[in-house]
Amino acid sequence: YSFCTLLRKRKPRRHQMPSMHLIVSGKVQGVFFRKHTKATAESLGLVGWVRNLPDGTVEVMAEASEEKPLNELRLWCETKGSPKSRVDGVHVEWGTEHGNFTKFTVTK
């Protein structure tokens, strides 16, 4: 076999889903922020998780088949949040899938 033939016979790479990692700061704990984030993520068809961090921030890991719903969740975190929350900042990191998520959950 030639080198080119071997390259053609390799299995194609599996499609990687875009992912987004957020750290949300402000008054975001004790105000149902995780519950509302989960509901919003589910309505957008996202999978992943949301959790409180010891420093008072909230961490979100989300994946989707395309970037648009991820951007919508990011925008929701930045501009809306839960009714009693106050978001001071959102740190965003983009990547490709991290886990084998099947749904969106609230974790501890």
Q: Is 34 a catalytic site residue? A: yes
The one catalytic residue in 13, 34, 74, 86 is: 34
Of 56, 74, 81, 99, the C-alpha closest to 20 is: 74
14 burial (CB, 10 Å; 0-12 / 13-18 / 19+) is: exposed
Say whether 52 is catalytic.
yes
Burial (Cβ within 10 Å: 0-12, 13-18, ≥19) of residue 73: buried
Out of 52, 74, 86, 100, the active site residue is: 52
Which residues are the active-site residues? 34, 52
